[in-house]
Amino acid sequence: MEDIILSLQNIRKSFSGIPVLNGINLTARQGEFITLLGASGCGKTTTLRIIAGLETPDEGHVLLDGQDMTAAEPNRRDVNTVFQNYALFPHMNVEANIGYGLKIRKRPKEEIREEVKKMLSLVQLTGYEKRMPSELSGGQRQRVAIARALINRPKLLLLDEPLGALDLQLRRQMQQELKRLQKKLGITFIYITHDQEEALTMSDRIAVMLDGRFQQIGTPAEVYETPKTSYVAKFVGSANIVYGTVESIQEETVVFSSTAGQESFHSRGRSFTPGQPVTLAVRGEQARLEKGAEKGLAGTVKEKSFSGGMLRVAVELSDQVEFICSRHGIDSKLEPGDKVRVVWEPEHACPVDLEEENQ
Amino acid sequence: MKHMGKKKKWFKGQVLTVLPLYLFTLLFVLGPMIYMVVLSFLTRAETWGILPELTLKNYQDIGEPIYLKTFWESIKLAVVSTLLIVAIGYPFGYFMAKLTGKWKKRVTMLLMIPFWTSSLIRLYGWIIIFRAGGVLDKLLNALHVTEEPLKLLYTYPAVVVGMVYALLPFMIFAVYSSAEKLDFSLVEAARDLGASPWKAFLTVTLKLTLPGLLSGVVLTFVPSMGLFFIADILGGNKVILVGNLIQDQLMKAHNWPFAASLSVILLALTSVMIYLYRKISGVKELEGLV
Average confidence (pLDDT) over A110-139? 93
Touching check for A56 and chain B: CB below 8 Å? no
Is the minimum CB–CB distance between A133 and chain B shorter than 8 Å? no
With contact defined as beta carbons under 8 Å apart, do B179 and B94 qualify? yes
Mean pLDDT for B207-211 is 92
Mutation target to probe the A interface, by most A beta carbons within 10 A, among B191, B192, B209 is B192
In terms of Cα–Cα distance, which of A182, A185, A171, A161 is closest to A82?
A: A161
Of A74, A89, A90, Cβ closest to residue B192:
A74
Quote ipTM for the complex. 0.84
Q: Cβ A83–B189 below 8 Å, yes or no?
A: yes
| Chain A to chain B Cβ contacts (< 8 Å) | 60
What is the DSSP code (8-state) at residue B145? S
From A81, A88, A105, residue closest to B192, measured CB to CB: A81
pLDDT over 80 at B285, yes or no: no
Angle among Cα B240, B244, B248 to the nearest 5 degrees reads 120
Nearest CA in chain A to B183: A87
* Residue B290 predicted with pLDDT over 50: no
CB contact under 8 A, B193 and A89: no
HEC profile for B213-268?
A: HHHHHHHHHHHHHHCHHHHHHHHCCCCCCHHHHHHHHHHHCCCHHHHHHHHHHHHH
Give the amino acid at B275: Y
Task: Give the rounded percent of residues in chain A with a pLDDT score beyond 70.
Answer: 97
Contacts of A96 in chain B (CB under 8 A): none
CA distance B102 to chain A (A): 17
The predicted structure's pLDDT at residue B193: 96
Q: Which residues of A touch B204 (CB under 8 A)?
A: 89
Domains in chain A: ranges and CATH: 4-233 (3.40.50.300), 234-352 (2.40.50.140)
| Inter-axis angle of helices A138-150 and A109-122, nearest 10 | 130
How do residues A333-359 score in pLDDT, each as one tens digit?
788 888 889 999 999 999 999 887 764
Separation of alpha carbons A181 and B278, rounded Å: 43
Kind and range of the H or E run holding B39: helix B31-39
Instruction: Delineate the domains of chain B, giving CATH numbers in brackets.
Output: 65-289 (1.10.3720.10)
How many Å lie between the alpha carbon of B143 and the closest alpha carbon of chain A? 40
Q: Does A271 touch chain B (CB under 8 A)?
A: no
User: Is the pLDDT higher at B160 or at B149?
Assistant: B160
Work out the average pLDDT over B159-165: 92
Taking the Cβ of residue B183 and every Cβ of chain A, the question of whether any pair is shorter than 8 Å is answered with: yes
**pLDDT per residue as tens digits for the range A109-119:** 999 999 999 99
Average pLDDT over chain A, rounded to an integer: 91
B185 in reach of chain A (CB within 8 A): yes
Question: Residue A295 pLDDT > 90, yes or no?
Answer: no
Say if B190 is an interface residue toward chain A (CB within 8 Å).
Answer: yes
Residue B39 has pLDDT above 60, yes or no: yes
Alpha helices in A123-244 (DSSP H): 138-150, 168-185, 196-202, 220-225, 230-237
* DSSP structure string for A85-124: T----TTS-HHHHHHHHHHHTT--HHHHHHHHHHHHHHTT
Q: Which of B185, B194, B207 sits opposite A75 (nearest CB)?
A: B194
Spatial contact of A78 and A156, defined as CB atoms under 8 Å apart: yes
Q: What is the rounded average pLDDT of the residues A72-84?
A: 94
Asked whether the beta carbons of residue B192 and residue A75 sit closer than 8 angstroms, the reply is: yes
Note whether A85 contacts B193, CB cutoff 8 Å: no
B59-95 confidence digits (pLDDT tens): 998 889 989 998 898 899 999 999 999 999 999 999 9
Predicted confidence (pLDDT) per residue in B19-35, tens digit: 888 899 889 999 999 99
Whole-number Å distance between alpha carbons of A21 and A13: 5
pLDDT at A308: 74
pLDDT for B2: 47
Q: CA of B194: which chain A residue's CA is closest?
A: A75
pTM score, whole prediction: 0.81
